[in-house]
């Protein structure tokens, strides 16, 4: 029988399974950085599936592969909420379809049939595409691990999705909405619309990261109710948002009214703790929209409202990208490019005047 042991390395604790192969030779096989990975490997070795004799045709089901894949993926220093997202996709979408199918026999046709199956049960195209992304990640690792030998991954195509029209508030709607907001949440809602910061960035914002003197908000972390504090989505998410004098005034009044030290929260509940996002939406955000007679939007649409205001008023695209914290300017252009005014009025005369400067 095999057993599990560990070794301490510079990279941390490594788990091994020690066993005798079919020839009686003592072997140590590295399992990974988690005990769960070691347990999975030990089960396979005890069942006679020796690591050195793996072949692409061994009878491993998709469900069994996912049991191996998830802990190995989580060990690659991905965010806990990302790992939870993978688990949900597998549990709710991939495993119900592929479950007992042998990995070595999964084909491109099976993947196309999965898309049709999701459509028949009413799954929305963006969700199907997310599932296809995770499926390709799993099958890519299956190729590396020799569970799968046909590489058809590049031929798995996502569904074409027509992006729904984003919801924006116009200037009059913004004024009515903020006037209808309760005093305890006015500053939060104003900051959301006047800075474009994400919900988690605002809920986790500390007083020390608000620089009223230099009119800036430093974004270096975000707070999620389930996971606590986390880093921004990308390096570009770590940024200083330049804010207007109006927002400086709103935040100055808010911070003077709410006591706290440098590490305390800018926006907090009655106990001085983090605001519960769902309660905030249901009890404050939506009621304020209704009182203002404004169409119902998502909290995230306040961010789009800010980006739309910048784009429609000809702020430089690179500046908008930095303010929004987009990793790529392509994202900024895709979201707000259609709002940038076209400079067509008196183009001919203006272009000739430009050329005349060199004459």
Is the domain of 179 the same as that of 325? yes
Instruction: Report yes or no on 346 lying in a domain.
Output: no
Instruction: Report yes or no on 271 lying in a domain.
Output: yes
What the block records as the tokens of 275 is 């605001």
CATH number at residue 92: 1.10.150.130
| pTM exceeding 0.75 | no
Is the domain of 333 the same as that of 189? yes
Instruction: Report yes or no on 131 lying in a domain.
Output: yes
Is the domain of 182 the same as that of 273? yes
Is the domain of 110 the same as that of 253? no
Range of the domain at 226: 174-339
Q: What is the mean pLDDT of each run of 10 residues along the chain (359 residues)?
A: 83 82 73 85 77 57 92 83 92 95 93 96 94 96 88 91 82 96 96 96 96 96 88 88 96 94 94 94 97 95 95 92 95 88 66 71
Is the domain of 41 the same as that of 61? no
Is the domain of 32 the same as that of 142? no
For residues 4 and 108, give the distance between their C-alpha atoms in angstroms, rounded to a whole number. 38
Is the domain of 48 the same as that of 68? no
pLDDT value, residue 54? 47
pLDDT per residue over 185-204, tens digit each?
999 999 999 999 999 999 99
Instruction: Report yes or no on 126 lying in a domain.
Output: yes
What the block records as the tokens of 282 is 């249901």
Is the domain of 80 the same as that of 184? no
pLDDT per residue over 53-82, tens digit each?
444 446 789 999 999 999 888 887 788 888
Is the domain of 181 the same as that of 149? no
Structural domain total, the chain: 3
pLDDT value, residue 218? 97
Is the domain of 226 the same as that of 297? yes
Helices (H), the chain: 35-46, 62-74, 80-89, 95-98, 108-120, 125-144, 171-180, 183-195, 199-203, 245-257, 277-280, 286-292, 300-312, 317-324, 329-336, 347-356
For residues 237 and 54, give the distance between their C-alpha atoms in angstroms, rounded to a whole number. 43
Q: Which of 139, 162, 185 is the last residue of a domain?
A: 162
Is the domain of 198 the same as that of 291? yes
- Residue 223 region by backbone torsions, left for phi larger than 0, else alpha for psi between -120 and 50, else beta: beta
Instruction: Report yes or no on 287 lying in a domain.
Output: yes
Instruction: Report yes or no on 241 lying in a domain.
Output: yes
Instruction: Report yes or no on 155 lying in a domain.
Output: yes
CATH number at residue 203: 1.10.443.10
What the block records as the tokens of 198 is 């994400």
Is the domain of 197 the same as that of 326? yes
Q: Which of 138, 162, 186 is the last residue of a domain?
A: 162
């Amino acid at each position: 029988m095999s057993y599990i042991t560990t070794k301490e390395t510079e990279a941390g604790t490594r788990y091994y399974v020690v066993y005798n192969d079919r020839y009686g030779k003592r072997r140590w096989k590295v399992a990974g950085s988690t005990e769960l990975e070691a347990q999975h490997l030990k089960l396979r070795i005890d069942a006679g599936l020796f690591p050195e004799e793996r072949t692409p045709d061994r009878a491993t089901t998709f469900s069994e592969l996912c049991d191996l894949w998830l802990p190995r993926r989580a060990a690659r220093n991905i965010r806990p909420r990302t790992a939870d997202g993978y688990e949900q996709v597998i549990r709710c979408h991939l495993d119900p379809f592929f479950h007992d199918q042998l990995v070595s026999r999964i084909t491109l046709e099976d993947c196309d049939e999965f898309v049709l199956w999701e459509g028949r049960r009413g799954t929305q195209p963006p969700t199907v595409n997310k599932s296809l992304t995770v499926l390709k990640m799993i099958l890519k690792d299956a190729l590396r691990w020799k569970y799968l030998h046909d590489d058809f991954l590049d031929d798995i195509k996502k569904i074409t999705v027509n992006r729904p029209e984003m919801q924006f508030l116009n200037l009059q709607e913004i004024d009515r909405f903020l006037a209808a907001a309760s005093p305890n949440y006015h500053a939060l809602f104003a900051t959301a619309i006047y800075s474009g910061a994400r919900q988690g960035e605002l809920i986790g914002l500390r007083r020390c990261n608000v620089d009223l003197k230099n009119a800036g908000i430093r974004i270096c972390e975000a707070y999620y109710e389930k996971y606590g504090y986390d880093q921004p989505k990308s390096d570009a998410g770590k940024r200083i948002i330049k804010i207007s004098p109006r927002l400086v005034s709103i935040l100055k009044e808010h911070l003077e009214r709410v006591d706290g030290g440098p590490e305390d929260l800018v926006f907090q509940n009655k106990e001085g703790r983090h605001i519960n996002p769902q309660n905030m939406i249901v009890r404050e955000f939506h009621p304020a929209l209704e009182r203002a007679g404004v169409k119902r939007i998502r909290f995230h649409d306040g961010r789009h409202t800010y980006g739309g205001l910048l784009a429609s008023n000809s702020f430089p695209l690179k500046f908008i990208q930095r303010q929004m914290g987009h990793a790529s300017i392509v994202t900024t252009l895709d979201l707000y490019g259609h709002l940038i005014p076209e400079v067509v009025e008196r183009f001919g005369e203006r272009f000739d005047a430009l050329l005349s400067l060199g004459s």
